[in-house]
């Protein structure tokens, strides 16, 4: 399904469009490393507080509609799992 990933840190939010064969659930750990390139992960890591660059926690899931189609917006928190509340 067409999915907009919103990857957030303390300092920035970045967006990535992808097609996921599933919809993640709230509070699931999402393997960001499987979707983003090394350069994209490095850019996020520069603005994150102690993030491994591999997994993020799903914070919210919203179903949206643009002019052409429905899509899912998934917000993922990219911070160290021991620091995420």
pTM to 2 decimal places = 0.82
Beta strands in 9-68 (DSSP E): 13-19, 29-31, 55-65
Q: Which range of residues forms the domain containing residue 15? A: 2-77
Residues 6-43: tens digit of each pLDDT: 999 888 899 999 998 888 999 999 999 888 889 989 88
Residue 17 lies in a domain: yes
Residue 57 is assigned to a structural domain of this protein: yes
62 belongs to a structural domain: yes
Q: Does residue 82 sit within a domain?
A: no
Q: Does residue 36 lie within any of the structural domains?
A: yes
- Whether 50 is covered by a domain: the verdict is yes
The pLDDT confidence band at residue 82, using thresholds 50, 70 and 90, is: low
**Alpha carbon 25 to chain centroid distance?**
12
Distance, CA of 71 to CA of 29 (rounded, Å)? 20
Domain total in the chain: 1
Q: What DSSP designation does 65 have?
A: E
For 45-72, the pLDDT digits (tens) are: 888 888 888 899 999 999 999 888 899 9
Residue 7 included in any domain? yes
């Amino acid at each position: 399904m067409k999915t907009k990933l919103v990857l957030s840190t303390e300092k920035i939010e970045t967006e990535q469009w992808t097609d996921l064969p599933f919809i993640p659930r709230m509070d699931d750990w999402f393997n960001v490393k499987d979707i983003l390139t090394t350069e994209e992960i490095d850019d996020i890591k520069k603005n994150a507080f102690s993030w491994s660059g591999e997994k993020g926690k799903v914070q919210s899931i919203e179903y949206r509609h643009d002019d052409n189609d429905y899509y899912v917006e998934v917000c993922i928190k990219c911070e160290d799992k021991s620091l995420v509340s």
